[in-house]
């Protein structure tokens, strides 16, 4: 089975651990006076961040775990505060004495450490990368994020379902539409409503535009990280043009508020632009395919093996470029409108780069097929109590969302961003590559900091 998420919630006089797999969901109840649970990290390495997060937020101890360090609680965060417990209601906390975080490093003669971040030179959210180096070669990398623990899960509690929409759509800017679609699916489940097919076509249209924008941005920046700046200029031009179309259609450059109960899209205007974009993209691909210096750096760099992609449960382009055929869109609805699962096998930067081109072309094809003149509406009458699960495929990969409604308000909100999974496999792709290739490999995955840092 593939592990999708391991998270926790407080229920009456207990903590409940929820393990979501692709084939089943398993719940384990822990008494408050004995918050101990067996680790699953030996079988599922990507569960380590999940378990460390649960420990920091609820105070659960995972037995036989290979890593019990704090994850969210940075050097001065009080260790005896568990912010997702119902009893925690403070708006301010008193920081403790600074306690250094012990990084995983490799020692030995001629091995040295390189610390990058959390403050970066670009306009980028905080994240720390601790390298163990032997000359230019990378021997080990530990990634540490969560510098902006925003309290999003706690923020949603006690609110009516529709009141948290503005929060959810802003969790991660490059996945806003994907998050909104997952959320609206949950609202439809809770209200026992069916999303009309024509409306699903419009939702999918916006999701594919969001995917195109970020893939275009990525292919420009990936090429830029090997010193080929003209590709960044060209990719940025196409990305910006598409984003302006996105704003005209959705009302916002990042798609905030794009998914709603009634939606009108000027498909004729959109399809005309897509014809132009398709032509430009074909030129872009032919142009960059004929530059040997680019491919000298792309090939054999940042390899994510098929075994590691499966072992760590990697999703999205990162998984598909390594031969894992996984995509939330691989369903009858999408296939009806021309979806084709695209994948590569080498797992290198080159595969992730080329796969983005193929996915853009397929997105353009689907959007043309999504065209509809119907203006059906989704109506929410009331939201029933219960537990609801949903998925969507962002430009980064599979978004998993959980919402528990109790007495008409949100009892628990949880989301597992694809980056939360993929960041944990990243260190396997960089061994023996040179440190100058780190930005290139990093950008080829295009992972979200905000999506991980709830």
108-163 pLDDT, tens digit per residue, is 889 999 999 898 877 788 999 999 999 999 999 999 999 988 999 999 999 999 99
Half-sphere exposure for 23 (CA within 13 Å, toward CB): 2
Element spanning 190, H or E? helix 176-190
Cα–Cα dist 222/43, whole Å: 33
Q: How far is CA 154 from CA 165, 412, 413, in A?
A: 14, 8, 8
pLDDT of residue 381: 83
Alpha carbons within 13 A on the beta-carbon side of 144: 22
pLDDT of 117 reads 85
Q: What is the pLDDT of residue 90?
A: 86
- 104-122: b (≥16 Cβ within 10 Å) or e: eeeeeeeeeeeebbbeeee
pLDDT tens per residue across span 345-394: 999 999 999 999 999 999 999 999 999 999 999 999 899 999 999 999 99
Residue extent(s) of CATH 1.10.645.10 domains in the chain: 152-445
Q: Which residues of 30-69 are buried (b: 16+ CB within 10 A; e: fewer)?
A: beeeebebebbbeebbbbbbbbbbbbbbbbbebeebeeee
Write down the pLDDT at residue 123.
Answer: 76
Per-residue tens of pLDDT for the chain, all 454 residues: 999 999 999 998 899 999 999 999 999 999 999 999 999 999 999 999 999 999 999 999 999 999 999 999 989 999 889 999 999 988 888 999 998 999 999 988 899 999 998 988 777 889 999 999 999 999 999 999 999 889 999 999 999 999 999 999 999 999 999 999 999 999 999 999 999 999 999 999 999 999 999 999 999 999 999 999 999 999 999 999 999 999 999 999 999 999 999 999 999 999 999 999 999 999 999 999 999 999 999 999 999 999 999 999 999 999 999 999 999 999 999 999 999 999 999 999 999 999 999 999 999 999 999 999 999 999 998 999 999 999 999 999 999 999 999 999 999 999 999 999 999 999 999 998 899 999 999 999 999 999 989 9
Of all helices (H) and strands (E), which one includes residue 3?
A: strand 3-11
Give CA–CA dist 446/166, Å, rounded.
Answer: 24
Q: If one looks up domain 152-445 in CATH, what number appears?
A: 1.10.645.10
Task: Assign 3-class secondary structure to 348-369.
Answer: CHHHHHHHHHHHHHHHHHHHHH
């Amino acid at each position: 089975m593939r592990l999708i998420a391991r998270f926790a919630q407080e229920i009456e006089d207990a903590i409940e651990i929820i393990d979501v797999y692709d084939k089943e969901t398993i719940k384990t109840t822990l008494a408050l006076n004995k918050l101990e649970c067996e680790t699953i990290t030996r079988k599922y390495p990507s569960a380590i961040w999940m378990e460390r997060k649960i420990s920091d937020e609820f105070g659960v101890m995972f037995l036989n775990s290979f890593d019990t360090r704090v994850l969210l609680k940075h050097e001065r965060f009080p260790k005896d505060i568990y912010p997702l417990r119902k009893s925690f209601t403070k708006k301010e906390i008193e920081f403790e004495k600074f306690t250094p975080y012990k990084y995983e490093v490799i020692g030995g003669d001629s091995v040295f450490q390189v610390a990058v971040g959390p403050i970066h030179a670009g306009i980028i959210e905080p994240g720390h990368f601790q390298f163990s180096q032997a000359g230019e070669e990378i021997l080990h990398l530990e990634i540490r994020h969560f510098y902006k623990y925003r309290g999003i899960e706690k923020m949603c509690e006690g609110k009516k379902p529709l009141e948290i929409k503005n929060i959810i759509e802003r969790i991660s800017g490059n996945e806003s539409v994907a998050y909104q679609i997952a959320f609206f699916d949950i609202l439809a489940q809770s209200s026992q409503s069916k999303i009309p097919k024509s409306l699903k076509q419009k939702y999918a249209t916006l999701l594919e535009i969001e995917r195109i924008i970020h893939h275009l941005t990525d292919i420009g920046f990936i090429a830029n990280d090997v010193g080929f700046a003209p590709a960044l200029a060209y990719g940025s031009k196409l990305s910006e043009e598409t984003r302006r179309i996105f704003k005209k259609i959705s009302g916002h450059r990042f798609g905030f508020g794009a998914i709603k109960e009634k939606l009108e899209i000027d498909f004729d205007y959109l399809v005309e632009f897509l014809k132009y974009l398709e032509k430009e993209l074909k030129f872009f691909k032919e142009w960059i395919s004929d530059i040997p210096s680019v491919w000298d750096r792309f090939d054999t760099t940042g390899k994510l093996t098929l075994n590691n992609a499966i072992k760590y449960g990697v999703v999205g382009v990162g998984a598909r470029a390594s031969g894992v055929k996984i995509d939330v869109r691989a369903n009858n609805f999408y296939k009806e409108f021309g979806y084709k699962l695209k994948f590569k096998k080498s797992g290198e930067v080159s595969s992730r780069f080329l796969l983005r081109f193929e996915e853009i072309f397929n997105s353009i094809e689907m959007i043309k097929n999504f065209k509809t003149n119907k203006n059906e509406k989704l109506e929410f009458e009331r939201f029933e109590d219960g537990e609801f699960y949903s998925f969507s495929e962002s430009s980064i990969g599979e978004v998993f969302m959980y919402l528990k409604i109790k007495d008409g308000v949100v009892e628990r909100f949880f989301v597992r961003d694809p980056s939360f999974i993929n960041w944990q496999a990243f260190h396997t792709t960089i061994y023996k590559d040179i440190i100058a290739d780190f930005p290139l490999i990093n950008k080829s995955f295009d992972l979200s900091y905000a999506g991980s840092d709830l």
